[in-house]
Each structure stands twice: as structure tokens, then as C-alpha cells.
Structure 1
Amino acid sequence: SCELGPLSVEEFLLLWVAMNSLQSLVYDAKDHTLQVLDQLKVPSEKRYISITDTVGAWMTIREMNVRGAPLIALTAALGLVVDVTHQDFASNSTSSTAGVASEFLLSKMEYLRTSRPTAVNLFKAMDALGDIVREAAAETASAQAVVQAFVAEAEHMLVKDVADNRAIGSHGAQAVLRSAGKDKVRILTICNTGSLATAGYGTALGVARALNESGALLEVVALETRPYNQGSRLTAFEILEDHMPGRLITDNMAASFLRTQGCDAIVVGADRVCRNGDTANKIGTYMLAVLAKHHKVPFFVAAPLTTLDTETATGAGITIEERKPEELLDTSGAPRGIPVWNPAFDVTPGELITGI
């Protein structure tokens, strides 16, 4: 259910762990500890990394031990919760001022912003948390009160992400079924947009989950998603874990698949949606949108409101992260010395998108 409001954070976390075998992060609201699943090891190994401070959160985001726009934002926010709650001023209500806590938190937020540039969720989370910190510091002289206000908002973001994802899944499933005019549908997706990219359930893969729960999913087809293979390593893993009907194909099979087997909709996630609908997502998404138009397949983007960037007019204003050449060279044993272009994202023009 999406009705999570009456639960405390501790009650919510216990319920969510009981309901889900896949946990992208494990957060203890009582002791303020955080562990994140090392997604570079999945599916061969399920290993968690303990985040003990802001630097640890920054590194896991930068090195892509965690990925997915919503999860990046949550890792940054909760990593800072762990850091600040273990500072002396967080538990001493008299010896430190609100200014001490505010300066600490705001400087750490600026640092976390530098981890990865494309996903807007991180920047929106830091903006919202920064506003909370400044408001609290203006209203109280206590460092402890500022920390408490910050922690409450960061934990609220965690609970809200799951509720939002459930709603996205439900609305997305209805949109796909309406567009297809069928009782059962086959959808195609790229990258990983499920429980491993969010606090739980997922965005685009959440649509597949909602369709499957209602008996309306004929099949979800996952693209391998080179060069990091988030589709083959992570999405395929989630499909099997949730017992969803699905198949895996390589990226360069997509056109042939649509021509020979077809699908009822392509559903993708997003890292940033501009004011005109231009959407930054995993590299290869633009290719799928062009194919969808040619084959007359509806193309949907599944994303929370935190992914909408109304301050950026078009995709031309998005900074596209370029990753290290080694991430491409080491995947398939390419010869050293060959020049590499390795963007992590591309931009799909809004006019190619059926709905968001």
C-alpha cells in the first residue's frame, strides 16, 4: 500500500524489510547506521558497504557502487545523517550553537553535490535539506535541534520514495494498458530502474511489477545496457527474484526485436526531465525512443517529481557525465591505446516521449 504516513520511520523500515527480499540500502533509524548494497558485485555476490561518513557516501556514489537517480539522492542524504548524528554537537544540547551544526551540514551538502553531475534528484534533495537546515538555524540556538530537523526530513525522503514508486507503478501500468488496448502486455526497458535503483519497488521496473501483480504482464524485456551492464546484472536479477516473466537481450538486438517480435510499450526511467520534456537517462535510451517512433510503439518515462527540472529549459542545458575509458575497455578486453567516448547518459527529445 502507498498509505505509509501513519507509520513511524522505524515501523516503516521493519515492514519494508519484511515485504522485500531486495534491499538497495539498510538504514537503522534508531542507531543511525547505513549500509548500501554494492551493486558492482551483483548478481555474483550480495555484499553491503557500511557508510560511516559523508566521504564514504560520496565514494559509493562516484564509483557507482550505488546508482539510480533516487537511490543516489537517498544515499547522500542518509550518509550525511550518519555523519552528523555521530558528531559531538548532535547529542550535546548546550555546548554547541545552531551555527555550528548548520555550517557542518551545508558544507557537507556542497561536497555531496560534486559526486555525480547528471541526476537532478541529488541536487533537489540537497536543496530541500539545505532549506530545512537554514530554517531550523534561524528559529533555534540549539545545534541539536538543527540536527533533529535535518534527520527528520532525510528520513521522510526515504519513506516518501517508496510511496512514490508504488504510485508510479500503478499509474504507469494503467497508462500502458490503456495505450495498448490489451489485457496483457509486453514491455521493454533499459538499465535498472527497480528496487536496486530506489528505496524500493522502482520506477520503470515498478511499472512491470504493478502489471505483474495484476496478472497483466506478458513479459518484460530487459536490455543488457553496456558498458556497465545494469540490465543484465541488475534488472535480470530483479526479474528472477520477483518471478516476473521476462527475457534479456543485448542493446544491439533492440531494433530487430521490435521488428520481429514487437512490444506494447517501452518504459524507461529518468535522471533529469527538463521543462520541455527532454529527458536524460541511461545511454541508449535515445536510441530506443527513435526505434519506438519508427515502429509506432508508445514510449513512456517513469519518474518521481524529484526528477523534474523546471529550471532547465531543454536538454541542451544538461551536463552529461562522461565516465573513465577503463569502464569500457575493461568490460570486453579492448586493446589499450584505442580512444574512447564513454557518456553515461543521453538526452531523448520530448517530442519522442508518449507520456511521463
Structure 2
Amino acid sequence: MTNNFLPRSDSEGLESLDQTEDKRNSLDAYLAGIGLAKWRTEIHSAIAQGAQDVLAIMTQPWSVDEIRDVARRMQHSPEGILQVTNIMWYLTFLGIERGQTFVTGAYLCRDPEGRLSAYFGGMGTPRISSHLKRQSSPGCTTGIDLRLPAGNFGISEPPPPPLPHGHCHVLSIAIVNDKRRGNCLYLKPERYGVRGIRNLAHHAVMYGKSLKRKHTFGGNEVPGMRKERIPDDFVAAFAEAVTPLDGGSDAIAEVGRRGKGEGIGGMHEFLTRRLGDGGTALPEGSEKRIRHLLERLESAYDFVDLRFGNEVVIDLPAEVKRSLPEASGVIGPSLLLRWPSPDATR
């Protein structure tokens, strides 16, 4: 079956067709680079299906509780694993579009009504995590294993394509009513799940490596990493810029070194506020350092006021309003996500 990433309307013209071709070429180059070229057809379909499923979850007429209940009924099922895999490929595609792919990293998705958070919360099982402890509430952290024993997928449900870099588990953290970000969903694909001694041992090893990296300058900027940690050179530049200021030490603590705190969004807010506070004189040289750091932050990152660190930030409400990727055979959301109108059930 041939997959075609085409805009939803021919009226968008040749320019849109050229842009679509560029996106397809970028995706295919990425797949070849990570050794998944043989899965090209399946991955194109997965991306298109994932986009349709996210659109349905974000815009369907049922409540957040009903979305969660629908997801719980699919927990650990082949259909649920296929849906989550497709959604993660759609997020990967959005990262490819903006040149923000990673070997290890995470997505921070704007989710104002908590709809995708409810879906992942219902689909996953509770687990513990060292990520975003200040921003997560009890019960908001779940994990989804994306592997099933061989033979669990029938002819009507072929196995989903593998995720990049051997990822087979998704950590999900719902961020609720955050003072800076509102409602967001944090999704981190991982190479190991949380069931069994082997997986737990691998998590322990990876956690030990992360602790070592935290105490090594430059450890948060290694190639292929897009985690929610502030790159160390920005940590140092922020400390230099704000230490002479009243409240500067408190700002450093609030922003948080090594991924604990309000991150780059907190940096941006503090620096912007101090520059805009015309009634307070800045020490000599501070204004220049602050302006330079702000320029660096705003040129290096999109969504600079929302982000924690170097993660991929996705504005889901805006993304589902765009022309979504298409593939042959994908005509709407997955069957189990085709909710009827609430009126039809009464």
C-alpha cells in the first residue's frame, strides 16, 4: 500500500504540495538515519492515524471523565497499544518538522482541557518517576508498556511499527493548573518498562547515570538529548546575570538547577520582569547581561515562556487545527475513538 502525505485540500496549491513533499523527504531521511526505512509505509500510516486520533481526543464532545473511561477499557489491549504507538509517532513527526528529534528526551504538550492527559491516564498504570516532582500531583503519573507477547496481534490488527531508538514504554505525567503552563501533558518514551526485575534494574542503572550527568558540566547538552533540564551554560549565564540583583538568589532557587524548579520559563519570566520594572535601577552591567541572555533564550527556543528545559514543546490545540498528515487507508480516528454524539446515547 502506498502512503501519501498530502494536504487535506487541493486548493492549498502547489506551494503546499512542495511543503508536503519536503516534510515527506525529511521523514524518510530520518527513518533511514535511525535504521527504520523498511518500516516506512507502516510509519507513514501510523503518523496519519495518530494525528487523527489526537484530533478526535482533543475535539470530541464527551467529557474528560468519559475519555478516561474509554481509555481504561483499552488498557493493555492490542488496540490500545496500537493507538498509543501511533500517537507517539505523530509527536515524533512534529519533532522532525521543527528539527527537534532526540535519542532520549520528552514532549511537553499543551492540553488546556486535560483531554489527552485523561486518555493517557486511563490507558496507563500508576508508576513512580523522578521527573517533574514539583509539578505533578499524586496519581498523575502513569506508564504504558508498548510490547505484547508474540501472537497477540491478529490479522486485523498487525503489530505496530517500532518507535525510534528502541523505545517501548511511555511515561506520562499530567501537569494540572500550573501557574505558568496551565494544563499540560509530559510524555517521555523510554527503552524499558516498569514490570519485572530486569526492567527495574535497567531503570536503576539509567537513574544512576543521570545523577552522574547532573554533576558533570555540559551533561545536559549531550547530542541527542532533549530532556526537561536546563542546559548548564544557560544555568551559569542566568546565575551571573541575576546574582547582583535584589531577589536574584531566590530566583536561582525558584528556577532550579539540574532540572528541579520552574526551568527556562521561570528564567524568562524573571528576566523580562526585571527589565520591565522601570522603578528599580539595575546594577551597572546587569541590564546588558540580562538583555543578552534573553536574546539567547528567545533565539534558541520556541515556547520559551512555557518550557522547563530542552524538551520538545507542542501546542496541541494549534497542531490539530493545521492540515494533518494523510496516508492511504486512514480516513478518520481509530474505530474505538469514534465516539457518537452524547445525544445519541440518551
* TM-score normalised by L of structure 2: 0.24
Larger relative CO (CA 8 A, sep 6+): 1 or 2?
A: 2
* TM-score normalised by L of structure 1: 0.23
Q: Which has the larger radius of gyration?
A: 2
